Amino acid sequence: MVKNIIYDMGNVLIHWDPDRLIARLGVTGADAAALKREVFCDQEWTGLDRGRLTEEEAIAAFQSRLPEYLHQYLPRLVYWWRDPMWPVEGMSEIVTELKAAGYKIYLCSNATSALHTYFPRIPGSEHFDGILVSADWKLLKPQHEIFELLYKTFSLDPAECWFIDDHPPNIDGAIVTGMNGTVFDGDLRRLRRDLRAAGINVAEA
């Protein structure tokens, strides 16, 4: 029986869209493509989530590959969470519903340690019983070790957990460790159907 719901953050609780982050800076065309390529599609971003780079080190690496006139945008991209975030519409209602039904709710996210600072701003965060952030442990989903750490940290039985993540390999990694789950593609109605099919007490879609 499922007793615990484990959430991912990006594109589950909040929208995570590098194109949208860049667009709100007013950067377009080739410059926007360069920022996306050098900031979000390179090893430094993964290094931030793995806790192997500081924000300052990542910015310095990005600066070394980008023209100087684009350097002004880098702090706002690296510290993206200081600007308004975009919650996934309707997800906080599901979180609230699950909590009211008696489920424990946890977060397992690939993110920098700054998540501890901004997580309270995400709707529904007040219902979470614990959070595990990749950078704190120098691990990343879908490594099996991060899921094993989740279970150990919060004394969870993986067979009693259900994982919601937007990235199929992360769900696959969780399944190997004994936790089943749902790939969330943005369709809240489908998510409700998947949860109900797993015996989880939520209202019908």
Question: Of 61, 82, 103, which residue is a domain's last?
Answer: 82
Please check the confidence at residue 95 and state whether its pLDDT lies above 80.
yes
Please check the confidence at residue 204 and state whether its pLDDT lies above 90.
no
Q: Please tell me whether residues 96 and 46 are part of one structural domain.
A: no
| Enclosing domain of residue 189 | 4-15+87-197
Q: How many residues does the chain have?
A: 205
- pLDDT number for residue 1: 94
Tally of structural domains, the chain: 2
Is residue 126 included in any domain, yes or no? yes
Is residue 34 included in any domain, yes or no? yes
- pLDDT number for residue 198: 97
Q: Looking at residue 178, which CATH number applies to its domain?
A: 3.40.50.1000
Q: Please tell me whether residues 61 and 93 are part of one structural domain.
A: no
Is residue 202 included in any domain, yes or no? no
Q: Please tell me whether residues 161 and 60 are part of one structural domain.
A: no
- pLDDT number for residue 26: 97
Q: Please tell me whether residues 169 and 72 are part of one structural domain.
A: no
d(CA 138, CA 125): 23
- Output the pTM of the full model: 0.96
Q: Please tell me whether residues 187 and 134 are part of one structural domain.
A: yes
pLDDT in tens, 16-48: 999 999 999 999 999 999 999 999 988 999 999
Average pLDDT over residues 41-57: 94
d(CA 57, CA 64): 11
- pLDDT number for residue 42: 80
Question: Of 30, 55, 82, which residue is a domain's last?
Answer: 82
Q: Please tell me whether residues 51 and 8 are part of one structural domain.
A: no
Q: What is the DSSP letter of 14?
A: B
- pLDDT number for residue 177: 98
Q: Please tell me whether residues 51 and 152 are part of one structural domain.
A: no
- pLDDT number for residue 12: 98
Mean pLDDT of all residues belonging to the chain: 97
Which tokens go with 111?
Answer: 């993110």
Which residue type occupies 195? L
- pLDDT number for residue 205: 76
pLDDT in tens, 108-156: 999 999 999 999 999 999 999 999 999 999 999 999 999 999 999 999 9
Q: Please tell me whether residues 97 and 192 are part of one structural domain.
A: yes
d(CA 196, CA 193): 5
